[in-house]
Amino acid sequence: MSGALAQHDALRVSADADEERVSESLAEESAIALLFNGVPFAVMMATPADLHDYAVGFALSERIVHSASELELVDVVKREAGLVLHLSIPIKRFAHLEQQRRLIGASGCGLCGAETLDRAIQLPDPVDQQAPIDVAQLMASMAQLAEQQPLNDQCGAMHAAAALTDSELLVREDVGRHNAVDKLIGALARNGERARAVLVTSRASYELVHKVATANIPVLAAVSAPTAHAVRLAAQCRLGLGAFAREGRMTIYSREQQFKRL
């Protein structure tokens, strides 16, 4: 978590003219440049924590590599403008990468910098189906997630993504919802774990469905609303999509058979 938060002095005021000097914990948002085999590929705005997980998850989501073992985090260089991640990938992956788009993204957008619509909107392979996930267990995990966000507890500006595995609820946080999912996918890949579902503390947007489907995880549950494009993509990829997952309720938008109900 080092570097994820910064302290800042502020003035707290109220309508009845009370004033109080306070020290606030703020979420850091840094420019993070990803270089593959020495060549710049992307600059993303993200929380500077869990960087190895982020690099692996980003590379898997972008289909730059096919497994965590194909990527090595060689060095992290701190610059005045942000951080530079030097990453090494096999020659055959790098040769393919040179033919792909270059991406400049921001924490609110997962498609910025795409050269063409065809390159931006690529359909993931259909998700391998698993046994249906119990809705009650899913909702209990969502409630548990609310208690496992230490960075957000301190600053209030973080999204979280969690993987429901057979053994635990694995959580990663970031100011960007898609960054949090990338970190989570990277952590799963590095640990050699398979997730039964991904839970997010945000809306279910297109890029989140795309990342979860690309990672071959069968269910995505979001605390807020889905977009229409996300629902269509989930149906095409055979991804179970639930949203408004809070207060013991959830609305299922695709693959109802992937959710076990009483």
Is residue 256 classed as helix, strand or coil in its secondary structure? helix
Cβ neighbours for 228, distance < 8 A, ≥ 6 positions apart: none
Does the pLDDT value for residue 38 go beyond 80? yes
Q: What's the rounded mean pLDDT across residues 178-200?
A: 97
Q: CA 186, 190, 173, 5 torsion: positive or negative?
A: negative
Q: How confident is the model at residue 3 (pLDDT cuts 50, 70, 90)?
A: confident
Amino acid at 79: R
Q: Residue 121: its pLDDT value, please?
A: 61
pLDDT digits (tens, 9 = 90+) for 47-63: 999 999 999 999 999 99
Cβ atoms 161, 178 nearer than 8 A: no
Q: How confident is the model at residue 196 (pLDDT cuts 50, 70, 90)?
A: very high
Q: Residue 207: its pLDDT value, please?
A: 93
**Cβ atoms within 10 Å of 223's Cβ, excluding its own:** 21
Nearest Cα residue to 206 out of 220, 218, 191: 220
> Looking at 118-122, 145-149, 154-158, 167-171, which range is the least confident one?
118-122
Output 120 or 190, whichever has higher pLDDT. 190
Ordered by where they begin, the domains of the chain are 30-120 (3.10.20.10), 133-260 (3.40.140.10)
Which residue shows structure tokens 């005021």? 13
Is 155 labeled as catalytic in the residue annotation?
Answer: no
Q: Residue 203: its pLDDT value, please?
A: 95
Percent of the chain whose predicted confidence (pLDDT) is above 70:
91
Q: Which two tokens stand for residue 27?
A: 């979420």
CA–CA distance, 101 with 34 (Å, rounded to integer): 14
Interstrand relation of 30-36 and 5-13 (parallel, antiparallel or unpaired): unpaired
Amino acid at 125: D
